[in-house]
Amino acid sequence: MRIPEDRLRRLELKVTGKLDGLLGGEHMGLLPGPGSELAEARAYQPGEDDVRHMDWSVTARTAVPHVRDLIADHELEAWALIDLTASMDFGTADYAKRELAVAALAAVGFTATRLGDRVGAYLMQRDGLRRRPARTGRTGLYSLLREVERTEIGRGSMGLAAAITALDRGQRRRGLRVVISDFLDTSAWEVPLRRMAARHQTLAVEIIDPREMELPAGGGLVELTDPETGTVQEIMLTPRVAAAYREAASRQRVANAAALRRAGAAHLVLRTDRDWVIDIARFALRRRRLGSRT
């Protein structure tokens, strides 16, 4: 299946148009901070410049307030690891989880290509890990987005920990690393993620469907299928069982957030029942505010 050109253009407009508008015209990337260099000092403009960017050494020498801007590095490489295992072929709300994976990759990709950076990807599939070389421009990104959307999803693949290790070892040049997954994998992915985050700016995009957090209302005998193994289990759905499921799912997400925090990765959550553009914009603004305080 080939994604129509007009659909890709609409996706691009969402990222470069609506997202930029929500960020107030200050869009320099989703993860400001490392990877930026200081620009020349200039005179402070009252009411326009942030006093936290004041260059006190120049101000002291000239007796005139000066600020120093940050300029993002160019011609870097952004590499994404996209989880295309069976659990990502699921969705009970406004989007399927795979659609949000495409949206997250588009947000990173269009941002990077507008800055002149190259974007490459590792696709985590049932028959192993496929590498797509880093390329510049819209044409290469369009091709990558099409491949992510049309890739056949099936059961069985290498674990997330092994995939992160392969990305880290395969791409040594410093840059942005993005892991897009539902993080339902039980392999020990925290250690390789921490190792990667020690060298690169790292963003973890966790994709969630509300049905994974809470069972449907009602009772009686229901069948639950594990998408990764195909195992089917019948359970008697009672309020007590539903409450236990809800508690266990919440514990898992809390544990994921703690592991990502310990690993040093920025953590963006996208849900299939929410507007992904708004969630990405809020995340970028929050990161920008945090970055300006450091």
- Calculate what percentage of the chain has a pLDDT beyond 90: 44
- What is the residue-averaged pLDDT of the chain? 84
Question: Do 35 and 73 form a contact (C-beta atoms < 8 A)?
Answer: yes
Report the 10 Å Cβ neighbour count for 280.
25
The distance of Cα 38 from the centroid of its chain, to the nearest Å, equals 26
| C-beta atoms surrounding 262 within 10 Å | 13
Report for 66-70, 104-108, 155-159, 280-284: range of highest mean pLDDT: 104-108
Which uninterrupted H or E stretch holds 53?
Answer: none
226: pLDDT strictly greater than 90: no
- Examine the pLDDT at 27 and tell me if it is beyond 50: no
At 156 the pLDDT is 63
pTM of the model: 0.80
| Positive or negative: CA dihedral 223, 228, 231, 233 | negative
Domain ranges of the chain: 5-11+74-292, 36-72
Which range of 18-27, 120-129, 189-198, 229-238 scores highest in mean pLDDT? It is: 189-198
Q: Is 28's pLDDT higher than 50?
A: no
What are the tens digits of pLDDT across the range 237-278?
888 999 999 999 999 999 999 999 999 999 999 999 999 999
Superfamily for domain range 5-11+74-292: von Willebrand factor, type A domain (3.40.50.410)
Range in 29-38, 175-184, 195-204 with the lowest mean pLDDT: 29-38
3-state secondary structure 155-204: CCCCCHHHHHHHHHHHCCCCCEEEEEECCCCCCCCHHHHHHHHCCCEEEE
- Taken as a whole, the chain contains a residue count of 294
pLDDT, position 36: 47
Place of tokens 């120093």: 68
% of the chain beyond a pLDDT of 70: 85
